[in-house]
Amino acid sequence: MADAVLVTGMATQWRVAKWRPRRTTLLAFAMLSPSLLFLALFTYWPVVEVAWQALHNQQKIGGPQVYVGLDNFLKLFGDAAFRKALANNLVYAFGTVVPSLVLALGFAMALAKSNRVNTLLRALFFLPVLIPLVAAASIFLFLFLPNVGLLDYHLAKLALSGPNWLGDPDVALYSIMGLTIWKNAGYYMLFFLAGLQAVPADAYEAAILDGAGPWQRLRYITLPYLKPTIGFVLVIGLLNVVTQVDHVFVLTKGGPSDSTNLLLFYVYQQAVESYDAGRAAAGTLVMLALLLAITASSLRTLERSFGEREA
Give Dmax over CA atoms of the chain in angstroms.
105
Looking at the structure, tell me whether residues 109 and 238 fall in a common domain.
Answer: yes
**Mean pLDDT, range 266-294, rounded to an integer:** 89
CATH code, 129: 1.10.3720.10
In a domain, 61, yes or no: no
Which class for 117: exposed (0-12), middle (13-18), buried (19 or more C-beta within 10 A)?
A: exposed
Q: What is the pLDDT of residue 4?
A: 47
Looking at the structure, tell me whether residues 143 and 251 fall in a common domain.
Answer: yes
In a domain, 60, yes or no: no
| Closest C-alpha among 138, 127, 259 to residue 190 | 127
Residues 145-169: pLDDT tens digits?
A: 888 888 988 888 888 888 899 999 9
Give the helix/strand (H/E) hosting 66: strand 65-67
Distance CA 153, CA 143 (A): 9
pLDDT of residue 18 exceeding 50, the answer is yes
pLDDT of residue 16 exceeding 90, the answer is no
Q: What is the pLDDT of residue 307?
A: 61
Looking at the structure, tell me whether residues 240 and 284 fall in a common domain.
Answer: yes
> Cβ neighbours of residue 43 under 8 Å, at least 6 residues apart?
none
In a domain, 230, yes or no: yes
pLDDT mean across residues, the chain: 85
pLDDT of residue 55 exceeding 50, the answer is yes
Predicted confidence band of residue 184 (pLDDT cuts 50, 70, 90): very high
Looking at the structure, tell me whether residues 41 and 76 fall in a common domain.
Answer: no
**Mean pLDDT, range 58-87, rounded to an integer:** 86
Predicted confidence band of residue 183 (pLDDT cuts 50, 70, 90): very high
pLDDT of residue 10 exceeding 70, the answer is no
Q: How far is CA 74 from CA 58, 167, 277, in A?
A: 16, 32, 15
Q: What is the pLDDT of residue 306?
A: 57
Q: What backbone phi and psi angles, to 5 degrees, belong to 58?
A: -120, 115
Looking at the structure, tell me whether residues 149 and 176 fall in a common domain.
Answer: yes
**Mean pLDDT, range 77-83, rounded to an integer:** 93
Q: What is the pLDDT of residue 100?
A: 95
Range of the domain at 41: 2-54
Looking at the structure, tell me whether residues 135 and 49 fall in a common domain.
Answer: no
Give the helix/strand (H/E) hosting 57: strand 56-58
Confidence (pTM): 0.83
How many domains is the chain partitioned into structurally? 2
Distance CA 61, CA 14 (A): 61
| Closest C-alpha among 64, 47, 67 to residue 56 | 67
Looking at the structure, tell me whether residues 294 and 221 fall in a common domain.
Answer: yes
| Closest C-alpha among 107, 141, 106 to residue 253 | 141
Looking at the structure, tell me whether residues 22 and 142 fall in a common domain.
Answer: no
Residues 22-36: pLDDT tens digits?
A: 778 888 888 888 898
DSSP state of 60: S
Q: What is the pLDDT of residue 7?
A: 46
Looking at the structure, tell me whether residues 124 and 41 fall in a common domain.
Answer: no
In a domain, 65, yes or no: no
Residues 190-210: pLDDT tens digits?
A: 999 999 988 888 888 888 888
